[in-house]
Amino acid sequence: MTDELLVEVADGVGRLTLNRPRALNALTAAMIAGIHAALDAWRDDPAVERVELTGAGERGLCAGADVRALRDAVLAEEPWLGFLADEYAMNAAIVSFGKPYVAHQRGFTMGGGLGVSAHGTRRIAYPDSVFAMPETIIGFIPDVGVMWYLAHAPGQLGTHLALTGASINGTDAVLVGLADEVAGEAPASELECDRAWIDACYAGDDAAAIVARLEAHEHPRARAAAADLRQRCPLAVCVALEALRRVRSMGSVERVLAQDLVLGRHLLGRPDFAEGVRAQLVDKDRTPRWQHARIEDVGRAEVLACFEA
């Protein structure tokens, strides 16, 4: 085990505490392995009636996987796909755990933080919760099985969140299926006010057409969403849209996770991923140089190639 993950059993509760507060509890390979091992041990243990997941510190449950370490592995040409495979297997173990799994989604709950919480049986948001799947800004797509919830969200809300990586509060996390309740005073919904333009602009399967509708819309938040999309990795935006549409015909989170692994194999080895992480988390200049200048430059064949097993 690792001191980055605290594991204990008391009074019938298996407690998992993500313990990297200075790194916003970003998931390492050891933490992923520890969570999976604990769930395997507790699955048939009568001493464990339920699991409680929390994050150490005051800032959040988890900001995601340690993508800087993953980038380093990619650049060093070290084996890296195993990290994703292990993470997704751990996510699947949460889905099939079979006992109550309570996740406390305090503060920042993003990326892999949703992977360890959204698949639980009771997902508790808080007034300070901030949810997002921001992967398209680093050349990747929303993964860890979260596309399942985004694809089944009301109208086109999930499409908006998947493509732009927009942050939402606890009330809206409940609305789109990423949480079950807000503990404490629930903030006002922000997405409900935007349903009209979101549903109108994000319909269809053509990312370029979506951006065009957003840019031409009279609502300033629609045009702001278009500007956000223009900052994201063009290929990642197009692949995310295709992936989200395919999830609609899938029957389980496990199938979504299998698609995530295929897409991870194709996307994380491309220059866009290393460049996106560099711009956002390493140099922090926020000026990534993507392989494609615009969403309109991404060919359909390039998108479909990312789904080849």
Range of the domain at 138: 5-305
Q: Domain total for the chain?
A: 1
Give me the residues of the chain with pLDDT under 70, please: 1
| pLDDT value of position 197 | 98
Kindly state the DSSP code that residue 192 receives in the 8-state scheme: G
Report pLDDT for 1: 58
The position carrying tokens 């699991």 is 51
The rounded distance, in Å, linking the Cα atoms of 60 and 130 is: 8
- The number of CA neighbours under 13 Å toward the Cβ of 35 is 33
Q: For residue 16, give the 3-state DSSP assignment.
A: strand
Give the model's pLDDT for residue 84: 97
Prediction pTM value: 0.96
Distance from C-alpha of 31 to C-alpha of 49, rounded to nearest angstrom: 22
Residue 227 CB partners (closer than 8 Å, separation 6+)? none
Written as six digits, the tokens of 224 are: 């702001």
Residue 27 DSSP code: B
The predicted-structure confidence for 246-299, as pLDDT tens digits, reads as follows 999 999 999 999 999 999 999 999 999 999 999 999 999 999 999 999 999 999
Residue-level pLDDT at 2: 76
Of 73, 230, 71, residue with least CA distance to 137: 230
Domain at 237, CATH number? 3.90.226.10
Kindly list the distances between the CA atom of residue 277 and the CA atoms of 2, 26, 80, 140, 266, in Å, as whole numbers in the listed order.
Answer: 26, 14, 15, 10, 16
